[in-house]
Structure 1
Amino acid sequence: MPGSEIRSLLHPFLLLLICERPGHGYDLIERLSLLGADDLEPGQIYRVLRNLEREGLLASTWVASATGPARRRYELTTAGMAALETRMARLTELGHVLESCLTRWRRIAAATRPHSLTTP
């Protein structure tokens, strides 16, 4: 999915992933990629993580690594869980609107042949 659409979903995606399992930045980048959010710059993700922490939605601790430098591990706070619930409710509403739009499009696409469309 293109980065511009994903950027607007980055906050809830990160909150969701951290709710599932706390993790460090690189781990979260890999997990975002599995969600289809692979068109983002790591710098964007780290900025959002810092902002979420500044807002009190995440807490971080430094964890020693056996293979390199210590890593900052992010965990969801109580406020972060409340924010996640709110954002998931909004995404559910948005999902209903998008599904309605896609259903209409499928109906139009099935009934319209490419040669019958008017070209400007």
Structure 2
Amino acid sequence: MNEPTDRPPSGTAPEAWPSAWVRAALEPAILGSLAGGPLHGYGIAQALADHGFGRLRGGSLYPVLGRLEEAGHITARWAPGDAGPGRKDYELTDAGRAAYRDAVANWRRLGDALADLGATPRLTAQEGTAR
């Protein structure tokens, strides 16, 4: 069994995370993808794919972008296209940056709790002793 790592090496195509994990982490993952600067939808999808989130379809990505915009975590603006139609660029707001930091802290706490469960001796109901 492969041991999990904190992050796939940059530039690699990691195995996709389980779909339930992707759904649970999609909002903070999108916020994190924007931490380095504005991106359009395809750029966000590519950044997520590069970090194990698989190939997201527009039907998964754009509704979440809409919710993040409504929450004030990102802003969106139309930018002219280089060789075609314009595109919508998304940018992290200060509130989005704070939400991302909070989410990362909470996910770390969850990971610590999972690790602690395996390291903590537990009492069995029948035995009443540590196993």
Residue in structure 2 matching 1:57, options 73, 76, 86: 73
User: 1:20 corresponds to which letter in structure 2?
Assistant: G
Percentage identity across aligned positions? 34
Q: Which residue of 1 aligns with 2:19?
A: 3
Write the distance in 2 (CA, Å) between the matches of 1:97 and 1:6.
Answer: 19
Gaps of 5+ in 2: 1-16, 120-131
**Greater per-residue helix proportion:** 1
Post-superposition CA distance 1:16-75 (Å, at most 9, x none) = 110122100011001100110015332111110011001111001111111221111000
Do residues 75 (structure 1) and 91 (structure 2) align?
Answer: yes
User: 2:87 corresponds to which letter in structure 1?
Assistant: R
Gaps of 5+ in 1: 105-120
Post-superposition CA distance 1:79-114 (Å, at most 9, x none) = 11111111111011012123345x65xxxxxxxxxx
Question: Which has the higher relative contact order, 1 or 2, with Cα contacts under 8 A spaced 6 or more apart?
Answer: 1
TM-score, scaled to structure 2: 0.72
Residue in structure 1 matching 2:105, options 89, 92, 96: 89
Q: Which residue of 2 aligns with 1:22?
A: 38
Q: How many residues align?
A: 103
Write the distance in 2 (CA, Å) between the matches of 1:15 and 1:34.
Answer: 15
Write the distance in 1 (CA, Å) between the matches of 2:50 and 2:57.
Answer: 15
Would you say the 8 A contact 1:2–1:39 is kept in 2? no
**CA RMSD after TM alignment:** 1.5
TM-score, scaled to structure 1: 0.78
Would you say the 8 A contact 1:17–1:31 is kept in 2? yes
